[in-house]
């Protein structure tokens, strides 16, 4: 019985403290904007961190990494195609030279 009364008295005192704090801060809570945004001064460090974070997330949001990777692959494919084209031209020239030699001997 004593333990229950001690626990109940602690509960009542805590509830009273909560009501007292809310009564003192209700004027400040009423002034706060309803949308959750906070107006206030932000330091240079916080502004720098926020801008870096925005850049970082925009990098992934716009899929810049994927774009750069696919562009790199496209460039590599074009380079390989150019090399293959050069090799084909060499083979064709050699084949034409061989045909000229063969037809010149007849």
Report if residue 67 sits inside a domain: yes
Q: What is the distance in angstroms between the CA of the first residue and the CA of the last residue of the chain?
A: 126
- Contact in structure between 17 and 24 (CB atoms under 8 Å): no
Report if residue 102 sits inside a domain: yes
Predicted confidence (pLDDT) at residue 43 exceeds the cutoff of 80: no
Q: Which residues of 27-54 are buried (b: 16+ CB within 10 A; e: fewer)?
A: eeeeeeeeeeeeeeeeeeeeeeeeeeee
* Rounded Cα distance, 6 and 1, in Å: 9
Say what percent of the chain tops pLDDT 70: 93
User: In the block, which residue shows the tokens 């494919």?
Assistant: 77
Report if residue 39 sits inside a domain: no
Look over the chain and give the mean of its residue pLDDT values, rounded to a whole number: 87
Q: How many domains does the chain have?
A: 2
Which structural domain range is residue 26 located in? 1-30
Global confidence as pTM: 0.42
């Amino acid at each position: 019985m004593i333990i229950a009364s001690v626990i109940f008295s602690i509960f009542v005192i805590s509830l009273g403290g909560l009501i007292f704090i809310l009564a003192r801060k209700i004027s400040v809570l009423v002034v706060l904007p309803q949308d959750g945004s906070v107006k206030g001064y932000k330091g240079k460090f916080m502004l720098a961190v926020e801008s870096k974070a925005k850049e970082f997330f925009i990098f992934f949001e716009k899929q810049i990494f994927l774009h750069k990777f696919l562009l790199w692959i496209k460039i590599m494919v074009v380079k390989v195609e150019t090399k293959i084209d050069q090799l084909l031209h060499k083979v064709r020239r050699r084949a034409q030279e061989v045909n000229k030699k063969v037809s010149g001997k007849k």
